[in-house]
Amino acid sequence: MAGSVISLVIGRTVDLLHKKSVFLKDVGRQVERLGNDLEWMRCFLEDAEQRQDENARIRNWVSEIRAAAYDAEDIIEIFASKIESIKDKGFVTRLACYPRRIVSLDKIGKEIESLQTRLNDIAASREKYGIKNLGEGMSAHGEELQRIRRSSPFSEDKDIVGFEELTKSLVAELLKEDKNRRVVSIVGMGGAGKTTLAKKVYNHADVRARFNCRAWVCLSLSYDHKEMLRSIIKQLNTVDNKLLEMLEKMEEQDLERRLYQDLQDKCYLLVLDDVWKEEAWDCLARAFPDVNTSSRLLLTSRNRGVPLHADALSKPHVLKTLGQEDSWQLFLRKALGHGDDAGCPSDMEEVGREIAKRCDGLPLAITVMGGLLLTKKKLKSEWEKVLNNFSTYLSRSQRGVSATLELSYADLPPNLKLCFLYLGLFPEDSEISVRKLIHMWVAEGIMQKRDAENLEETAAYDVEQLFSRNMVQVVEMTTDERIKSCRVHDLLRELAIRKANDEKIFHTDEIRDDEISAKSRYLAVHILPWDKNYVGCSIPPVRSLLFFNIHGYRENISLSFKSFRKLRILDLEKVMMAYLPKEIGEIRLLRYLGLRRTWITRLPHSVGCLRYLQTLDIRTNSVYFPVIVSNFIWKLESLRHLYARDVRSNVPLKIEGLRNLRTLSGIHFDDIMHNNMITLMSLQKLGIWVDDRSEIDKLCMHLSEVGSLKALGLYRNPGRGWPQSLAGLSKLHHLTELKLSGVSLRTLPPDFPPNLSRLSLKFTRLKDDPMPTLEKLGQLSFLKMECAYEGKQLFISRHGFHQLKFLELSRLYDLDEINVEKGALPRLRCLRIRKCLSLEKLPEELDPELVDKA
């Protein structure tokens, strides 16, 4: 992990020292010294980060600090958790535990003393490694990365594939009859071909004819503002010694004034290639006159926010990675050098296609690998050698694929670096749930320092930032345009793994205890060897343990929890486990426990000892069997999210007093009614099982004063009918989202929550057309109906659904006609139709572009 990330960890540890000072007062002097030493170390990390890529000793120094900071955090939290558990007991018990407290204090004192010795040794080695201080300029490695990225409009690449339509679109936008100065932009991940495309457009005959005043400048990640201004002025004027001398003497404001004068009254085209930050645009834009001359700026960036900042009215042209066939054609041109007539020898095609596939549609990677193969003999064995050592060849390339992607990583702020590295734990090409990712980031403590009240919102913003910077790709968006799931480009994933491995963040495809570094903190199990079914004999102090794609393993997985006492995250999704050992309660620092799609049907009482637990996901494979828990949920004072399909207890389940709880699903009506719900001050989402005996009016009155509640799901208990009345829903004024799910609701409730904006009906099998009732919900923007209606026709009048933006009709098997009056659904953005097998046509009143039919 890079030095700036470790700086974040150190800051978090120092904050923890202050936060837990009440428990550490008896070892206060040692704790204060530890905090001071860690802060002192942080002062030298920026210089170390800039130089660790070129010096293995410096990289090791950074790694030692990281390990010390993590160990300090572990020691403090483990000790504090022990003291907190004693503090909650009765007086007699506390008195009996007093000797244990003394022993614990003595132990932590010795551990801090040992850490202090380590830090002293690390500090002593600083000068030996040549680490000086902050602000001493960019390292030679950093300067080399910048040099690689410099561009010019000349030496245009003739072997371009897949850019034809984008080129036409960009040229057309540059030539639009608009007197105002406009910004046309190209955005995409590093190596996607933004500069190549910009060159093609810049040199297009129609563009050259339109703009006789043109200039090209490459800003890159670190740039000199005065030098950029000088560069543009030189391209617009005849260069002689007099001009050069004058430009060298000019101050920044004088240069801006000179450039403004040069461009005044001109129809100019300026290309600003590789703009990273909004500030870079702001500095230069002052010198670009907007005087009704139809001037244009063509801007390329990896950050989607930059072009929108430059011109909010101009939609960026997103440069996506190449498809499989375009990738193959580009590969052939670069690897065989035959231009359009390139053809691959039949015995080498399979290997060649696999190399192209490994490039994952990134033009720069294809170009580099193709150029490498062009210099080698046209033999299958040579191509196989390159394929088998793909990552090594790519990282060694002089054209800098790794370097290009590394610049994107270098530009991330510390918290986003840590978020990005965490993505390297997930398998190649996996679809990553953003909700799950957010819960893990929160559990890891990445968000803690910035906004303790809105951790999930902060994490969701960070996902958006990674997307904006083209570090992740969107797989699925929600209807309100939030990222629901994402993936990481293969080469960016390799970058994350490489950076993480540099700092001993362990990532593996096959667990072997003897290969795991003693400093490893993150462990992803992708494959378990068939000769053993356990993990955890010589495991280091791991913070995150994640399992992927081992659901086919035939036996129960056995975990030695004694090896995992410092775990914050344990994700066992899809692992073949039928029970959870009671030793789970010994992992006192655990914040995330994922048991989704396991076969566990009962939680041991010891789970109640996990007082730091934030997320508990028990949506197991046992669909027809509830998960049985004893009455311990109320003890989980840090719990923020409890996900369950059906959770039950032998006694009414106590949940009141959980002030941090935001999500609660799979709980039964009777359990809700036995609790004072007002004490759940943060509760936003609630899913409840009801049956024919459930009194919905009383339930809604019970929930009406829970002001934070925004989303409610009512699920019919299998084998029982719906309650006779749902009229009480109108009392829930705070509610904006409602889901009704269960067989044979038959008729809609007479009233709905007055501020409802999202409604989902599932398995309700309504007999009458629901649209006349639903279209009167004035704020409804989202409506989903799945197996919800058994009629043949739906009628939507022009008087209703004034705010509806998204409508999904799924598995309405008898529906054969939708009637829509003219003027209805004025704000509709998407109509999604799934498995409505009898529906043969759509009404003419609907815009075909809005329809997503499958």
DSSP annotation string for 638-678: T--EEEES-EE-SSPPP-TT-TT--EEEEEEHHHHHTS-GG
456: left (phi over 0), alpha (psi -120 to 50) or beta: alpha
pLDDT at 373: 84
pLDDT at 636: 95
Q: Which residues contact 374 (CB under 8 A, 6 or more apart)?
A: 334, 335, 336, 337
Single pTM value for the model: 0.83
CATH T-level fold of 412-499: Arc Repressor Mutant, subunit A (1.10.10)
Taking the domains of the chain in order of start, what are their residue ranges?
A: 3-137, 143-318, 324-402, 412-499, 767-854
Alpha-carbon distance of 710 to 215, in angstroms, equals: 54
pLDDT at 130: 66
- Same topology, domains 143-318 and 324-402? Answer is no
Per-position b or e across 347-361, b if 16+ CB within 10 A of its CB: ebeebbbebbebbbb
pLDDT at 3: 43
Find out whether 357 and 324 touch, Cβ atoms under 8 Å: yes
Alpha-carbon distance of 562 to 484, in angstroms, equals: 36
Residue 848 is given by DSSP the state G
Number of Cβ atoms within 10 Å of the Cβ of 262: 18
Pseudo-torsion of CA 185, 190, 191, 196, nearest 10°?
20
pLDDT at 375: 80
pLDDT at 93: 42
Q: What are the tokens at 176? A: 């639009």
Alpha-carbon distance of 742 to 719, in angstroms, equals: 10
Residue 163 is given by DSSP the state -
Find out whether 13 and 34 touch, Cβ atoms under 8 Å: no
Q: What are the tokens at 106? A: 């003595």
Alpha-carbon distance of 347 to 349, in angstroms, equals: 6
One CATH from 3.40.30.10, 3.10.105.10, 3.40.50.1370, 3.40.50.300 for 143-318: 3.40.50.300
Q: What are the tokens at 811? A: 């598995």
pLDDT at 134: 40
Mean pLDDT per 10-residue section of the chain, whose length is 854 residues: 52 58 56 65 59 64 76 75 59 43 60 76 73 48 53 61 87 91 92 90 92 88 84 89 89 91 92 90 90 92 90 88 88 76 79 88 85 83 86 66 79 83 88 93 74 74 87 84 88 85 61 55 75 54 83 63 84 87 90 93 93 94 82 94 93 92 95 94 94 88 93 82 79 95 80 94 91 93 94 91 93 92 88 90 75 62
Per-position b or e across 295-327, b if 16+ CB within 10 A of its CB: bbbbbbbbbbbbbbbbbeebebbebebbeeebb
Q: What are the tokens at 822? A: 């003219």
Alpha-carbon distance of 340 to 332, in angstroms, equals: 9
Tell me the backbone φ, ψ of residue 187, rounded to 5 degrees. -125, 150
CATH T-level fold of 324-402: Helicase, Ruva Protein; domain 3 (1.10.8)
